[in-house]
């Protein structure tokens, strides 16, 4: 089975930096997605890591360590609109199945 662990909730200040950690235990690992989900909406793609290391994309960066089963999402220059749930989602298997944990609900405060 799959086991995905993220903090349930985080609070950060507008303009600051926040790091959301994710640890996972899977079999047949192919890569890891990060998605953003606002309440009542479908997830939107943020990043996909296959190899170890840091991928930077604008204000968002994602890091992966396959050997440690660990990833993080780094959000810089936080904006109020970044308040959302952030989902760490490993991809596994021949059908490229993606499994979600409960996500981290981030609240950005003024």
Partner 1 sequence: GAVVSQHPSRVICKSGTSVKIECRSLDFQATTMFWYRQFPKQSLMLMATSNEGSKATYEQGVEKDKFLINHASLTLSTLTVTSAHPEDSSFYICSANRLAGVETQYFGPGTRLLVL
Nearer to partner 1, 69 or 101 (CB): 101
How many whole angstroms separate alpha carbon 92 and alpha carbon 50?
Answer: 11
99 scored as a contact of partner 1 (CB under 8 A): yes
81 scored as a contact of partner 1 (CB under 8 A): no
How many whole angstroms separate alpha carbon 98 and alpha carbon 84?
Answer: 20
Alpha carbon distances (Å) from 11 to 8, 76, 90, 105: 11, 14, 24, 8
Nearer to partner 1, 70 or 99 (CB): 99
Nearest approach in angstroms of CB 108 to partner 1 is 19
Residue 84 CB partners (closer than 8 Å, separation 6+): 36, 37, 38, 39, 105, 106
Question: What track of x and - describes contact with partner 1 for positions 39 through 68 (by CB under 8 A)?
Answer: -xxxxxx--x-x------------------
Q: Which two tokens stand for residue 95?
A: 């059908």
Nearest approach in angstroms of CB 43 to partner 1 is 5
Chain residues that interact with partner 1, rule: CB under 8 A: 31, 33, 35, 40-45, 48, 50, 87, 91, 95-103
């Amino acid at each position: 089975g799959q086991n995905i662990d993220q903090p349930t909730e985080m609070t950060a200040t507008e303009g600051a930096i926040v790091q959301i950690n994710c640890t996972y235990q899977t079999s047949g690992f192919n890569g890891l997605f990060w998605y953003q989900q606002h309440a009542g909406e479908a997830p939107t793609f943020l990043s996909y890591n296959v190899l170890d290391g840091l991928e930077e994309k604008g204000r968002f960066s994602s890091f992966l360590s396959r050997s440690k089963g660990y990833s993080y999402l780094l959000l810089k220059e936080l904006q109020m609109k970044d308040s959302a749930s952030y989902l760490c989602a490993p991809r596994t298997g021949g059908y490229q199945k993606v499994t979600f944990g409960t996500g981290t609900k981030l609240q950005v405060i003024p």
